[in-house]
Structure 1
Amino acid sequence: MKTTSIGWHVLYVKSRHERKVHDALKELSIDAFLPTVTEQSKRVDRKTIIQKPLFPSYVFVNISSSMDFYKTLSVNGACAYIRFGTEYATVRDVEIKKIKLLIGANDLTEFETDADHLKVGDIKKISYGSLSGLECEILNVNNTNKVIIRINSLQQNIKATIPSYYFEN
């Protein structure tokens, strides 16, 4: 088994335990990040606004020592660190910043994540708004522009709808 490295790691948690694990890690003074998006819940009798994890069952943990690495696993609801083969999944700081930038942008809607390697669409640079300068892959789905940001270390994509006037020509 590989030794742990310092930096952001991906902790797999029990289903619907993301917030509980995140809060417990904060209580242990461990730097944790749980990206959430606002979504309208569709119930038969009513609609409510909920905060939903962007990556279900994932909590990002910034490990500063091997003690932190193992202490996080003692939290109720934490299962294991995500691994690809023998390597623990690590996320670069720049990727964490991209995720924070995406979920903090007020003009993006309809967030989705997937692990597909999408090959359709153009690569465009956003020239307007809070995401200015970011390169994205564009999909036209139901006449809306979908932005796709690839997070390579997670083998995940983030999709969001963005106005077409935000892109360079």
Structure 2
Amino acid sequence: MNRKAPSAAEGGRERSTSSMELSKMQSIESKAPWFAVTVKPNHDKAVAAALQVRGLEVFLPLYRARRRWSDRMKELQLPLFPGYVFCRFTRESRAVVLSTPGITSVVGFGHQPAPIPETEIESVRITVASGLPLSPWPFLRAGDRVRIEHGPLAGIEGVLLQIKDGWRVVVSIELLQRSVAVEVDRDMVARVYPAPIMDRSGFAWSGSKEVAYARF
């Protein structure tokens, strides 16, 4: 017996149902934590595109770099964290993520994926979107902790560095032990200090998780 071909209306309903299911999945994933997945060499952009096709929210931070190409210089868009792509997903979607061509693992401890704080992802996202000169940087934790107070990076916290051609604020992804440095003006930042705690005797001591901001 020949199978009856679906009518245009039935085909439309199937597409509508598929779109609704994808929309529902995207809504659920949008509330999921961020994770970093490791990818095969030079597969960063392809993996990011494949995850997006699967309805997942993806973040692949890029920066502009000039490279010599044959007899001329060429401007390229390169990954800030080569070998890693950031993605939101739930525990139920982990198998879908790992089955994506080009992905080798989810970053974590042992067999347990480790989420990346939303604040770290947002700091890198704002840094990339600012349009200011930036570049990958060796992981940096120690140093003067500062908060940028003015301009497109206002609110971002990082470590302040002085190098021969100016100032940089270094923003880090702790889990990956990777950092990104962005150029800033010296007067755009304020140092972050632990706020002192006053005891009953009037003696002030440091140790609060709160922060206070002070000019250099």
Q: 2:172 aligns with which of 116, 136, 150?
A: 150
The residue aligned with 1:3 is none
Secondary structure at the counterpart of residue 76 of structure 2:
strand
Q: TM-score, normalised by structure 1?
A: 0.84
> Using a 3 Å threshold, how does the CA distance of structure 1 residues 105 and 142 change in structure 2: closer, same or farther?
same
Secondary structure at the counterpart of residue 16 of structure 1:
coil
The residue aligned with 1:19 is 45
Offset at 1:143? 3.5
What letter is aligned with 2:73?
Answer: K
Secondary structure at the counterpart of residue 55 of structure 2:
coil
Secondary structure at the counterpart of residue 153 of structure 1:
helix
Percent sequence identity over aligned pairs: 26
Offset at 1:85? 4.2
What letter is aligned with 1:71?
Answer: V
Which one has the bigger helix percentage? 2
What letter is aligned with 1:141?
Answer: I
Structure 2: segments with no counterpart, 5+ residues:
1-31, 191-214
**Matching of residues 64-103 of structure 1 within 5 Å:** 64-66=90-92, 68-103=93-128
The residue aligned with 1:30 is 56
**Are the equivalent residues in 2 in contact too, given 1:89–1:154 (CA < 8 A)?**
no
**Are the equivalent residues in 2 in contact too, given 1:112–1:160 (CA < 8 A)?**
no
What letter is aligned with 2:169?
Answer: V
The residue aligned with 1:129 is 151
Please identify, of 9-18 and 146-155, the stretch whose mean Cα deviation from structure 2 is larger.
146-155
Offset at 1:162? 1.8
Aligned equivalents of 1:154, 1:129: Cα separation in 2 = 28
| CA deviation profile, 1:87-142 (whole Å, cap 9, x unmatched) | 42311222211111010012x21311333x443x4223222101113232111111
Higher normalized contact order (CA 8 Å, seq sep 6+, divided by chain length): 1
Aligned equivalents of 1:42, 1:161: Cα separation in 2 = 23
Q: TM-score, normalised by structure 2?
A: 0.67
Offset at 1:150? 2.7
Structure 1: segments with no counterpart, 5+ residues:
1-5
Aligned equivalents of 1:123, 1:91: Cα separation in 2 = 20
Matched positions, count: 160
Offset at 1:56? 0.2
Runs of 4+ in 1 over 4 A off after TM superposition: none
